[in-house]
Amino acid sequence: QKEVEQDPGPLSVPEGAIVSLNCTYSNSAFQYFMWYRQYSRKGPELLMYTYSSGNKEDGRFTAQVDKSSKYISLFIRDSQPSDSATYLCLSGGSYIPTFGRGTSLIVHP
């Protein structure tokens, strides 16, 4: 079992929908949490990060961490076709950062 679990999808939603992407992790030593976005045939790029439990907002994106349940979420409001990509969560700390498998998101017009 990987230290960071993520449903690979695909997740298909209509334009304008609210999207929820989720990961769970098992290592209590993880201290920070990130979301990377990867477009087809490209390398991943950092989208958001957070250190603590709670919410962090950036435009249409909200990252949420619940350390008590070891649960990481990314919410996308008013989703757009340009949000279609694979979203990877990453957990890090004193260990080498660990990626989830990634969730493929498709936003159709």
Binding site for other proteins (CB under 8 A): 6, 8, 32, 34, 36, 41-46, 49, 51, 88, 90, 92, 96-97, 99-102
Cα-based angle 95, 61, 20 (whole degrees, multiple of 5) = 80
> CB of 72: closest distance to other proteins in angstroms?
15
Between 17 and 56, whose beta carbon lies closer to other proteins?
Answer: 56
C-beta neighbour count of 86 within 10 angstroms: 19
Pairwise CA distance, residues 79 & 108, whole Å? 9
| Smallest gap from residue 59 Cβ to other proteins (A) | 17
